[in-house]
Amino acid sequence: MSEESAIKIFTRLILQGKIREATRFITEREERGGVLNPYDDSGKPTGKTVLEVLKSLHPEQAEANSDAFMDCEELPALLQVDITAGHVERVIRKLSGGVGISGLDSFQLQNLVLKYGAHSESLREAFASVIRRIANTDVEWEDIRALKAKRPGVRPVGIGEVFDRLFAKVMVLVTGDDIQEACGSDQLCSGLKAGIDGAIHAMKSLFDENCDSGWGLLLVDASNAFNSINRPAVLWNARVLWPRCAKFLFNSYKGFAFLIIRGHNEFLLSKEGVTQGDPLAMLLYAIGILPLILKTKDPEKWVQAWYADDSSCISDFHSVLEWFKMISQEGPKFGYFPEPSKCYLVVAPEFVEEAAKVLKAMQ
């Protein structure tokens, strides 16, 4: 790209108010890659093509383990969710993100919804009516299947239609507080304010107080977590813990969304887990993995902290190893597969050799 072309793109982004996108473009344009074709090398150590990586990241739906379902003697009532044009307006002003299948981006949608007087007001009312329908009634999958189509990236992130992202963000605005109440401090990706800061300070304080006594802080990541968690169990847990959004979630995930690949006449289906990139995915994953978190919670032996699929545990080496073996054994029941190669054990310098033995036992 010539310098003149880069300046034009940068100027256009600034005039559109896309300050973050403009900054990223002008500072990273020398390193940014182009669009990969399905049969291009993905750049991963495995040597797989882009299409092969995408297929591996979207598995078939697995049979759910009974432990993954929340116990519930009596289901909470399904409450009607009232969505207004005001909710749509609040969300659309902050909407951003990549372009979906249609090619309509958030900036264009903002213009349509906000800048044409009575016509924009009618459009906001129409959007609110659609969201109310999806949130409060059973909708046939054929009616919204096109809305759920996504453009996948080599990473397991699906870029959905801007309308779909708008609808999901409105539901987060109206019902998101329910997830914070259900998860509390057990799962910090529920949106708890200052939750991450609090967890970092708590873990650091515990480490500073006990590192000389042979304590370690284990940091764990999981493999393809959002696409591996069991979908039926997640939707059941949402029915129990998030009833105001349960209908919307069921309608959104009752079928297999199309993943349309540029330059390829086939498509993939999203059959398992939640779509990373969906505004509801983080909250839905939070309640999907909550039974595992509660099962491994044992304050007398260790302190654990979770943010989505990133988990951590601090205690003495023996207890940390016991905790890791527990999540390695119980995790697959919930679609959680820890990757030892991505785990880090933080210890004081004098315990490095002992910590190496612990890490070896984790392999």
Q: Is the per-residue pLDDT at 155 higher than 80?
A: no
> How many of the other CB atoms lie within 10 Å of CB of 299?
7
Give mean pLDDT, residues 127-147.
93
Give mean pLDDT, residues 90-104.
82
Q: Is the per-residue pLDDT at 32 higher than 60?
A: no
pLDDT band at 251 (very low <50, low <70, confident <90, very high): very high
What is the per-residue pLDDT for 99? 73
Euclidean distance between CA atoms 267 and 9, whole angstroms: 32
pLDDT band at 33 (very low <50, low <70, confident <90, very high): low
Q: Which residues touch 21 (CB under 8 Å, ≥6 apart)?
A: 13
Of 268, 286, 183, 176, the closest CA to residue 226 belongs to: 286
What are the beta bridge partners of residue 16? none
**Higher per-residue confidence, 191 vs 141:** 141
Q: Which residue reads 């009575």 in tokens?
A: 118
Euclidean distance between CA atoms 51 and 361, whole angstroms: 35
What is the per-residue pLDDT for 30? 47
Percent of the chain with pLDDT over 90: 47
Percent of the chain with pLDDT over 70: 94
Q: Is the per-residue pLDDT at 53 higher than 70?
A: yes
| Average pLDDT value over all residues in the chain | 87
Map the chain to HEC letters: CCHHHHHHHHHHHHHCCCHHHHHHHHHHCCCCCCCCCCCCECCCCCCCEHHHHHHHHCCCCCCCCHHHCCCCCCCCCCCCCCCCHHHHHHHHCCCCCCCCCCCCCHHHHHHHHHCCHHHHHHHHHHHHHHHHHHHHCCCCHHHHCHHHCEEECCCCCEEECHHHHHHHHHHHHHHCHHHHHHHCCCCHHHCCCCHHHHHHHHHHHHHHHHHHHCEEEEEECECCHHHHCCHHHHHHHHHHHCHHHHHHHHHHHCCCEEEECCCCCCEEEECCCCCECECCHHHHHHHHHHHHHHHCCCCCCCEEEEECCEEEEEEEHHHHHHHHHHHHHHHHHHCCCECHHHCEEECCHHHHHHHHHHHHHHC
What is the per-residue pLDDT for 35? 63
> How many of the other CB atoms lie within 10 Å of CB of 151?
19
CA distance readout (Å), 288 to 226, 291, 331:
10, 7, 12
pLDDT in tens, 191-237: 888 888 899 999 999 999 998 888 999 999 998 889 899 999 999 99
Of 165, 160, 141, the closest CA to residue 149 belongs to: 160
What is the per-residue pLDDT for 55? 83
Q: Which two tokens stand for residue 80?
A: 């009607």
Q: Is the per-residue pLDDT at 248 higher than 90?
A: yes
From 3-7, 141-145, 156-160, the region with the lowest mean pLDDT = 156-160
What is the per-residue pLDDT for 193? 81
pTM for the model = 0.84
What is the per-residue pLDDT for 204? 92
Q: Is the per-residue pLDDT at 313 higher than 80?
A: yes
